[in-house]
Amino acid sequence: MPTKLRKTRKMRGSKTHGYGSKKKHRGKGSKGGKGYAGSHKHKWIKIIKEEPEHFGKHGFTSIRGKESKTINIKDLERLIKDFREGKIDIKNDEIKEDDEKIEINLTKLGYDKLLGKGKLNFEKPIIIIVKSFSQQAKQKIESANGKIITEEVSKSSV
């Protein structure tokens, strides 16, 4: 039965086993170095073609770059309507409603700021807990017998 011999066995007695001179099969010498060796020298074109952004710094992270998630007054009505219909899954008392008032914790719902666009049409006074708000939003809430509590005040009162 014929068997296939391994290359090294076939080349018994050969000094280089088919790799040419002794230099060509030693480490990464024949390829110009291992890994990114020579990336600023003889491998420059290859690096620039394959990874144009490889060298240098790119951009920065601004300390003031965080965007705040906002909600308008007109969206509060939809939010409470969805809560009453059971479309919103409330776990941590983000929205509470009883006979006298409606209380919404916008911070727990993931909103950072309340804006004043839209009209407020609630039959009960509304209490809103939020990190920040616009002056127009404050005027509209207070004119409807409501109250805005900032997040820092609500933490200290608890």
pLDDT digits (tens, 9 = 90+) for 9-49: 778 888 888 888 777 777 777 678 888 889 999 999 999 99
- Interaxial angle between packed helices 73-85 and 135-143, expressed in degrees from 0 to 180 and rounded to the nearest 10: 60
pLDDT at 153 over 60: no
Q: How far does Cα 16 stand from its chain's mean position?
A: 55
Of 150, 153, 78, 60, give the one whose Cα is nearest residue 121. Answer: 78
CA 150 to chain centre: 26
Mean of the per-residue pLDDT values of the chain? 83
Better-predicted residue by pLDDT, 118 or 156: 118
Instruction: Please name the fold of domain 70-157.
Output: Ribosomal Protein L15; Chain: K; domain 2 (3.100.10)
Checking if the pLDDT of 156 tops 80, the result is: no
What whole-number percentage of the chain has pLDDT above 70?
92
What pTM value is reported for the model?
Answer: 0.55
CATH hierarchy code of domain 7-50: 4.10.990
pLDDT at 98 over 90: no
Helices (H), the chain: 7-10, 44-50, 73-85, 135-143, 151-157
Domain ranges of the chain: 7-50, 70-157
